[in-house]
Amino acid sequence: MMLRRILTLIGLALACQAQAQTPGDDLIVEMQQAFRQGNRVRLAQLLPQVRGHALEPWAAYWELKSRLDTASVQEVQDFFARYPGTYQEDRLRNDWLLLLGQRRDWATFLAEYPKFRMNDDREVRCYALLATHLTSGAAQPDGLPDEVRRNWMAQREADDGCTTAAATLIADAQGPRRMTVQDAWRKARLAVEANRPRAAGNAVQIAAPDAAAQFAELNNSPARYLTSRVFVASRVRKEMMVLALIKLAGTDLDNAARQLENKWGPQLAPEERNWVWGVIGKQAAQRLNGDALDHYAKVSRDKDLTEDMLAWKARAALRAVRGPDWEALAQAVNAMSEETQSEPVWVYWKARGLLAKGGDDRRAEARRLLETIASIRGFYEQLALDQLGRKVTIPGRPAPLTVEEREAVRLNPSLNRGLYAIALGLRPEGVREWNWGTNMAKPGGLGERELLAAAQMACDREVWDRCINTSERTKTEFDIEQRFPTPFRESVVRRSGEINLDPAYVYGLIRQESRFVMDARSHVGASGLMQVMPATARWTARKIGLSNFRPDQLHDRETNIVIGTGYLKLVLDDFNGSMALAAAAYNAGPGRPRAWRNGPVMEAAAWAENVPFPETRDYVKKVLANTAVYAALLTREPQSLQMRLGRIGPRDAAEPEPYRDLP
């Protein structure tokens, strides 16, 4: 009770401080900059000057984190004691556990690990599993090797924790519940395919230390490596051939297919052949190559393929030259894990395949599948509504928040610190603090009503990204105005009307681009609400007759909307009104979707699912789903996502010539 009372008082103090700037704000910002620069001396000088500031926990974290490798155990424990229950305490514990794992200090690690609340770091988890394995003997949990395996396979980059845990369990292999050398070869295959040579080299070192030099050779020149060898007899040599073929497929797909077909295939085991054909099929599908399904057809057992290979087989089936190959799609989906099969994308396309095949039983099963996902919550959920003959409609809002519900989140220290940090321009820190406050405020995180109250707190402060993201986490309650806010409505609607652009489409794009954060800036230099690149802005300004434009004007809200909508309209016209193509062009540049549209004529949903870039594929689907909801919100009329999609294929000769200089 005493701790709760203290936290309430802290929250009240922070809420009051957040209303206006306080002394020390500039020093906090300076400390963040010093932390990013690795300036330990300046951090130590400034920390005493910000004691008592609302963001003191951040200042203390930066100072101690910058020298954690030389800090004493007592200093770390003093920090934990001074900032109990805060994001910074748990963040430093994460950092401390990583350091303890690197030092192999398992006694201290195991004492600290149970206090780690976020528990969201795979490497820390691997260290914990390794420490348990080394210290518990026969008493270790039965599922420990499986968990190490899952974490190791999921790590894209080479790390110490999961690599060491895997190496230890493989070296100690005894019985069916242990990890095996085959796990190391599987990791090497995944890493080579992902072009992560260091992670692949580590895995090869574990599986076959004597083959490390050979791996360096095949990684540098897989074609030369394959040419220099004639016969493979041992398991190690076969696995090295598999790695070489995977590597070659990334740069010379046709050569890899020939080598596998004519030379190496007969020498490999069925599982090894299937894996390489799966890689070749996936590479062909990602390049929108019409031969993709032919490559996949050489796989004798789809269960030998990874989830990603199966997903690309399903996408290739949607893009088949003579129309969707529903049988190949069903084979791919049915071979996926239950978890993957339950994703809306594969539920929807499996149902579409059943409908295409016809028959009362298949139609009934398709309808049952569609009912499991039909809602307004996402792209395939909305398409399921269309298939069921329903529309996107605006749900009723939840019951109004009570005074008590609002007050409870207003006094939450982490939420207040998050908003304060964002107001000072420390957005990364503010977002992490806010997320901690909504996830870790109590065991299990906030309840649905508390999430709605927190989201409304962010909305009221016009911190729209936290408003949207927090409200989206509710499962049953659905507040449309929190999830799909319409800030700057007069400007967006007026400007859209002036250039004959659907304001719902503009809102759908802004929501995905920036979450309405006006000072948003991407890692490539895009700015503002509509995330416009300077070069794109200059080109657009010339096309729409905006004189005396300067890129720094993109930080002005009205100018950003004018330039962003102007560019979107030009792109939309360039693609003859296709919202899917225009969204892809806005995200990835117009040159890529011009190439991606070549091939068979297909429905836009199938085309969007085949976009090779994961970011752009996700972007297109979310923008279009957002658009349907915003259209229902702005017009108060039911909407159909399918009606907005149409079909996509090669540019028709009757279509106007594209802007060749479109950036």
Minimal CA–CA distance to 549: which of 562, 118, 473, 467?
562
Mean local confidence (pLDDT), 152-166? 96
pLDDT surpassing 60 at residue 644: yes
Q: 174-178, 592-596, 649-653: which range is least confident on average?
A: 174-178
Can you give the pLDDT at residue 232? 65
In a 13 Å sphere around the CA of 199, the CA atoms on its Cβ side amount to 22
Report d(CA 565, CA 582) in Å as an integer.
12
CA distances from 598 to 321, 381, 529, 571, 648 (A): 11, 27, 32, 17, 9
Q: Which amino acid is located at 402 in the chain?
A: T
Question: Which whole number is the average pLDDT over 238-247?
Answer: 96
The string over 608-635, giving b where at least 16 C-beta atoms fall within 10 Å of a residue's C-beta and e elsewhere, is bbbbbeeebbebbbbbbbbbbbbbbbbe
CA atoms within 13 A on the CB side of 283: 23
* CATH number for the domain running over 489-648: 1.10.530.10
Q: What is the pLDDT of residue 655?
A: 72
Residues carrying CATH 1.25.40, the chain: 1-116+405-468
Reported in sequence order, the residue ranges of 208-356 that DSSP labels E, i.e. its strands, are: none
CA nearest to 231, candidates 261, 277, 268, 181? 268
- Phi, psi angles (nearest 5°) of residue 532: -100, 135
User: Could you tell me the maximum CA-CA distance found in the chain, to the nearest angstrom?
Assistant: 78
Least confident among 32-41, 226-235, 254-263? 226-235
pLDDT digits (tens, 9 = 90+) for 425-475: 999 999 999 999 999 766 777 899 999 999 999 999 999 999 999 999 999
Instruction: Copy the structure tokens of residue 374.
Output: 């039909």
Residue 107 in this model has a pLDDT that exceeds 70: yes
Read off the pTM: 0.93
Residue range(s) in the chain whose domain bears CATH number 1.10.530.10? 489-648
Q: Does 21 score more than 80 pLDDT?
A: no
Q: Give the C-alpha separation, 431 to 448, whole Å.
A: 20
| Residue positions annotated with a catalytic role | 513
Please give the average per-residue pLDDT across 384-391, as a whole number: 98
CA pair distance 448, 474, nearest whole angstrom: 5
What six digits make up the tokens of 444? Answer: 């299990």
pLDDT in tens, 611-621: 999 999 999 99
Q: Is the pLDDT of residue 5 over 80?
A: no
410: pLDDT strictly greater than 70: yes
Phi, psi of 288 (to 5 degrees): 60, 35
pLDDT at 44: 98
For residue range 47-83, what is the model confidence (pLDDT) as tens digits? 999 999 999 999 999 999 999 999 999 999 999 999 9
The per-residue pLDDT for 445 is 79
Q: What average pLDDT does the chain have?
A: 93
- Helix pair 448-460, 403-410: axis angle to 10 deg: 70
Are the beta carbons of 392 and 377 closer than 8 angstroms?
Answer: no
Question: What is the fold of 1-116+405-468?
Answer: 1.25.40
| Beta strands 602-603 and 647-648, pairing class | antiparallel
From CA 146, how far away is CA 143, in angstroms rounded?
5
DSSP state of 374: -
Q: What pLDDT does residue 174 have?
A: 58
| Cβ atoms within 10 Å, residue 592 | 16
Q: How confident is the model at residue 31 (pLDDT cuts 50, 70, 90)?
A: very high
pLDDT, average across residues 542-546: 93
